[in-house]
């Protein structure tokens, strides 16, 4: 393997990992933008999407199970908001956050109980898991598809936020919760919409993630969830493009560190980055001023 091929292979891996983090990070950043809440259960929604697909595809063909998985994940995300966050809307922010941690553990333990704690094989989706050879680089379709699909979804989302009525409502709510409410914006619908989008993207991320790493376990959401959270903070929490850029930076950097043989420090790097950002630039790369903030 020559040097160029080697670097391309490593970069591709980094981009894929970054793409997966990005899709999860958007969920964090959007919820934070609107509710000022760090939704700790988001990583577990991602995990639940994996299990939905596992159980669904056991009995149904792919063209039914895939959309159904996306739908169920969205329902779960909205249900979590309705049951665990909405009753606490007037409570101190800390209460909601603790509620979020509770939901996170609930989902993990329920999954452990239901699945018996064994790793489950993720169904194979035809085509995207296949191996392709480009020049000297051997990789799978999913590796190439992930960053492209991520970017397409993000562009779609930014358009939605910028040019649609519900997007405008989201921007208004993220600016000023109370005033937006006074102006007649149906705050509950906007919040639900945020969870719909966040959960949908988490479900897409889970399809991409588990097609590449096809083992679903109850705690699998924890690490990608944390990394995505760091990515959201790094990019400036509340900013969608920021979260995406942050996710790609983290994905690629982690991979470079691993490739250099310093695996010991790859996770440490991510969290040191979090601390440094919080100390020196708490607003992240794309600070508070960004108009795409949701």
Partner 1 sequence: MKKFLALVMTLAMVLAIGAGCGGGGDTQQGGTQTGDKVVKVGIFEPASGENGAGGKQEVLGIRYANSLQPTVNIGGEEYTVELVEVDNQSDTTKAVTAAQSLASSGVSVVLGSYGSGVSIAAGDTFKTAQIPAIGISCTNPQVTQGNEYYFRVCFLDPFQGTVMANFAKDEMKADTAFVITQLGDDYSSGLGAYFKQAFTDLGGTVLEAQFQTGETDFNAILTNALNSDADVIFAPSSIQTAPLLIQQARQMGITMPILAGDTWENESIINNAGQYATDVYLSTFFDENDTSNPAAADFVTGFKAWLNADPQNLTNNGDSDGVAAVSALGFDAYNVALAALEAAGSTAGPDIQAALPGVTYDNGVTGSISFNENGDANKDMAYIKTINVETGAFDFLKTQSIAD
Residue 26 CB, shortest distance to partner 1, in Å, is 20
DSSP state of 233: H
Q: Quick one: 138 or 179, whose CB is closer to partner 1?
A: 138
Q: How far apart are CA 122 and CA 115, in angstroms?
A: 13
Q: Quick one: 179 or 215, whose CB is closer to partner 1?
A: 215
Q: Quick one: 28 or 122, whose CB is closer to partner 1?
A: 122
Both tokens of residue 6? 């080697």
Residue 23 CB, shortest distance to partner 1, in Å, is 15
Largest CA distance in the chain: 63
| DSSP symbols for 92-147 | -HHHHHHHHHHHHHHHHHHHHHHHTT--EEPPPPTTTT-EEEETTEEEEHHHHHHH
Phi, psi of 38, rounded to the nearest 5 degrees: -90, 110
Picking from 41, 45, 30, the residue whose alpha carbon sits closest to that of residue 244 is 30
Q: How far apart are CA 129 and CA 199, in angstroms?
A: 23
Decide: 80 and 103 in contact? Cβ < 8 Å: yes
Residue 81 CB, shortest distance to partner 1, in Å, is 22
Residue 181 CB, shortest distance to partner 1, in Å, is 25
Q: Quick one: 114 or 168, whose CB is closer to partner 1?
A: 114
* Residues in CB range of 207: below 8 A, 6 or more apart: 49, 53, 66, 69, 125
* Site for partner 1, rule CB under 8 A: 1, 6, 9-10, 13, 17, 112, 116-119, 121, 124, 129, 131, 133, 138-140, 209, 212-215, 217-220, 222-223, 255, 258-259, 261, 263-264, 266-267
Residue 51 CB, shortest distance to partner 1, in Å, is 14
Q: Quick one: 225 or 242, whose CB is closer to partner 1?
A: 225
Q: Quick one: 236 or 251, whose CB is closer to partner 1?
A: 251
Residue 281 CB, shortest distance to partner 1, in Å, is 27
């Amino acid at each position: 393997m020559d040097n160029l091929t080697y670097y391309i292979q490593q970069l591709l891996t980094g981009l894929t990992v970054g793409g997966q983090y990005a899709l999860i990070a958007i969920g964090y950043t959007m919820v934070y933008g609107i509710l000022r809440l760090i939704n700790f259960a988001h990583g577990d929604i991602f995990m639940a999407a994996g299990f939905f697909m596992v159980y669904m595809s056991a009995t149904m063909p792919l063209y039914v199970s895939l959309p159904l998985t996306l739908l169920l994940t969205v329902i779960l995300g909205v249900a979590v908001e309705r049951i665990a966050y909405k009753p606490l809307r007037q409570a101190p922010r800390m209460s909601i956050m603790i509620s979020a941690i509770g939901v996170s553990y609930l989902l993990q333990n329920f999954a452990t109980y239901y699945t018996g704690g064994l790793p489950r094989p993720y169904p194979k989706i035809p085509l995207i898991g296949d191996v392709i050879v480009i020049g000297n680089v051997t990789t799978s379709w999913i590796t190439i598809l992930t960053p492209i699909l991520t970017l397409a979804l993000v562009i779609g989302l930014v358009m939605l936020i910028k040019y649609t009525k519900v997007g405008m409502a989201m921007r208004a709510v993220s600016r000023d919760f109370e005033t937006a409410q006074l102006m007649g914006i149906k705050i509950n619908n906007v919040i639900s919409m945020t969870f719909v989008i966040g959960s949908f993207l988490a479900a897409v991320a889970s399809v991409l993630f588990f097609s590449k790493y096809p083992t679903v376990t109850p705690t699998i959401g924890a690490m990608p969830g944390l990394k995505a959270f760091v990515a959201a903070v790094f990019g400036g929490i509340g900013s969608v493009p920021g979260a995406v850029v942050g996710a790609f930076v983290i994905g690629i950097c982690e991979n470079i560190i691993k490739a250099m043989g310093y695996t010991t420090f790859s996770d440490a790097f991510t969290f040191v980055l979090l601390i440094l950002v919080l100390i020196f630039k708490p607003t992240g790369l794309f600070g508070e001023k960004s108009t795409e903030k949701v």
